[in-house]
Amino acid sequence: MQARLLLEDGTLFTGTSFGSEGDSVGEVVFNTGITGYQEVLSDPSYCGQIVTMTYPLIGNYGIIRDDFESIRPFIHGLVVREHEEAPSNWRAQYTVGSLLKEYGIIGISGIDTRMLTRKIRHYGVMKGILTTSSKSTAELAEMMGTTPFMCDQVSRVSTKSVFGAPGSKERIVVVDYGAKSGIIRDLTKRDCDVVVVPQDTTAEQIRRLAPDGVLLSNGPGNPKDVPEAVATVRELIGEFPIFGICLGHQLFALACGADTEKLKFGHRGGNHPVKDLSSGRCFITSQNHGYTVNEESISGTDLIVTHINNNDRTIEGLKHAKHPAFSVQYHPEAAPGPFDSSYLFDDFIEVIRKHKVDNPQLPRQAQMLAAWKASASSTSEKGELHYAKK
């Protein structure tokens, strides 16, 4: 069946459909990864986007249950040069086409993805509509024009309830703005007691979970679309050690008074060089984001730039000058071949342990006794029962 991709500038690509049928509007972006298409498909950060893979052959090793980064794919369409319908891999359980069909996602193959990528690099990301219908170009353009960009992606992809991955060491509350499974895996690998909470969890609700540290996860869209998350992060800074990843990095920056802005075509791929300013070392990182922290806005805040992108010099890492909080724009859990950045999880645990030493707490028994004495000294008459407060 024929499929078409129409961009908002009027460019029309015609190819062969695979996956589902219908119409889908989204932001057309590209990813430069040679492998990892399944991780791209299942990364919640791509919610609302039509993803173009620059590597020409996609689907050759199939889809594997153990390689998902979330429970389902969230992309709005997949654009490839060549789609392999018969994967050759002993681990493969089904094909890319069958996965897309199961979740109602349209795929298009057989188009010039080099031309499309060069257009996005030159003019920037743009809206597009992917269709298998027989609608005219004018009808498609009208449909695309009347469909606004999504601004509620975080609420769409975040967990709706609290869940845990028990461990015997530090308790880490992961605020799920679209968290990848790799983040949970890296924390549980270190025997952390992980509690994952929805994106709209308040600071007070997080306090009641008694965390040792708070991790702000990756996620889709514009960080300014979730102002309530910024307010929550601002309230938690200084109270708990904080580690932000990708969207979490941007929310951390906004909470500290910095600003964010949209990149021309974003960073999406597994080979982005990042320089650690303290050591001078270069790390090869996996990235997926369309926004960045504005460098000029850092002035006047308590933020210190720790990492920069070696390609375009954008900010890739921050830390707070006064409190145990830091963040990175890239994905230390992704491991696109190199495991360069996984040390950041160890750094986070060390920050938590140091914070505990520097801020000793009363033993639990003493805290409970103090709370009881405060309650007993209230204005209630002698002999009146004291009920627990909610």
Task: Supply the residues annotated as catalytic.
Answer: 246, 331, 333
94 annotated among ligand-binding-site residues: no
- State both tokens at 105: 């996602």
158 annotated among ligand-binding-site residues: no
Are 100 and 106 in contact, with CB atoms under 8 Å apart? yes
- State both tokens at 361: 């707490």
Q: How far is residue 347's CA from residue 349's CA, in Å, rounded to a whole number?
A: 5
221 annotated among ligand-binding-site residues: yes
Amino acid identity for residue 83 in this structure: H
Are 93 and 121 in contact, with CB atoms under 8 Å apart? no
24 annotated among ligand-binding-site residues: no
Beta-ladder partners of 304 = 319
288 annotated among ligand-binding-site residues: yes
Find how far residue 259's CA is from the centre of its chain: 18
367 annotated among ligand-binding-site residues: no
Closest CA to 293 of 333, 342, 244: 244
266 annotated among ligand-binding-site residues: no
Q: How far is residue 244's CA from residue 235's CA, in Å, rounded to a whole number?
A: 15
290 annotated among ligand-binding-site residues: yes
Please, which residues have CB within 8 angstroms of residue 256's CB and are 6 or more apart in sequence? 234, 237, 301, 302, 303, 318, 320
Q: Which residues are annotated as a binding site for L-glutamine?
A: 45, 219, 221, 247, 250, 288, 290-291
List the binding residues.
Answer: 45, 219, 221, 247, 250, 288, 290-291
